[in-house]
Amino acid sequence: MKLLQKTQLGKLELNNSVVMAPMTRSRADANGLVGQMTLDYYSQRSSAGLIISEAVNISEDALGSPYTPGIYTQEQVDAWKKVTSAVHEKGGKIFIQLWHTGRVGHSSVRNGVLPVAPSAIRIEGQQHFTPTGMQDYEVPRELKLEEVKDIIKQYGIAAKNSLEAGFDGVELHGAFGYLPNQFLVDGSNKRTDEFGGSIENRSRFVLEIMKELVNVFGEGRVGIKLSPSIPFNGMIDSDPKALYTYLITELNKMPLAYLHLMEALFPLDSLPHYPKDILGTFGQLFDKKIITNGGYSRETGEKALENGIANLVSFGALYVANPDLVKRFELNAQYNEPDRNTFYGGSDKGYIDYPFLEV
């Protein structure tokens, strides 16, 4: 099986082509610290060729959802050091996914402070999870130009902290409607300065962040996750094909490890100009490794690798419920069923208590 074959990813040799996708699990404490549960969680899944961590806040102002971890204090760095050491002791590799939620948050989660965004445009037709229940989204505060440039620097600082914490590399969360994605699409970015207007200007925020990350981690240790055809969180663009063609072409000029592409997971009947075949539309623009993500199984993941556009496959819900997923792929064994009621927040139930195969 191609999924089980060793592969080179940037500067790293991976034991297989199975990637544990980044998944928010909301098990950090109120100070954004991960603990023993999180150490156990990632350690259990160290047989993945690559683990990409849950999204990790780059600053206090990046926070949007409760009980999500950070990488901006020394305590947080020290806590993650224990996690990366545990993964490495089992022969695994782990990247950190860096996160700024932008307008995908709520003031009740942020000590009364409004979320920030490229423009003062709120998300319509959705609600946000808060400790007091689901809440309508608020109109975010538009970032000043100097604040935009400061956030780019904050990504660089978070990358330095990640390097100190022992991560093998870093992925920018540029997908699913969070701050970098908000800058990209013209439905949420109405700026008139150097970070708004043209496709080149709207892409600038992401490209400048990627330069910061490469400056810290070096060649072959930086990736980015993109979701060109996912309109969730109000990610509506007038010409996503042109936008992502430009962005990925520019990313291809950088010494990256990979491009992590999300499939079109949402109905697009009302958005006929959105590409449905993500790998076919954008894969040829990138000559380094491509990780594909989006509801894959053992069989469909293998087929994606055989088709030759994707080089690795990331798995989400399957990895929640099956810490030994690689072994189950190898043996074509039955899967544990994920308990969706315990995906976010709570105790070790539904987090580190899924059984391993008895072999």
Q: Tell me the domain boundaries of the chain.
A: 2-342
Mean pLDDT of 88-94: 98
Distance between CA atoms of residues 282 and 249, nearest Å:
9
Would the pLDDT of 325 be above 70?
yes
pLDDT at 359: 67
- CATH code for the structural domain at 2-342: 3.20.20.70
Given the residues 155, 178, 244, 258, select the one marked as catalytic: 178
Mean pLDDT of 329-348: 95
What are the tens digits of pLDDT across the range 136-193?
A: 999 999 999 999 999 999 999 999 999 999 999 999 999 999 999 999 999 999 999 9
Q: Which residues pair with 95 in a beta bridge?
A: 52, 169
pLDDT bucket at 269, cuts 50 / 70 / 90: confident
pLDDT at 309: 86
What are the tens digits of pLDDT across the range 303-319?
A: 999 998 899 999 999 99
Mean pLDDT of 254-275: 93
> DSSP labels for 92-144?
--EEEEEE--TTSS-GGGTTTPPPEESSS-PPPS-EEEETTEEEEPPPPEEPP
pLDDT at 123: 97
Q: Which residues contact 191 (CB under 8 A, 6 or more apart)?
A: 118, 119, 142, 197, 201
pLDDT bucket at 127, cuts 50 / 70 / 90: very high
- The torsion angle over the Cα atoms of residues 290, 38, 218 and 171, rounded to 10 degrees, is 40
The answer to whether 275 and 226 are in contact (CB under 8 A) is no
Distance between CA atoms of residues 182 and 102, nearest Å:
8
Q: Which residues contact 36 (CB under 8 A, 6 or more apart)?
A: none
Does 296 qualify as catalytic in the annotation? no
pLDDT bucket at 265, cuts 50 / 70 / 90: confident
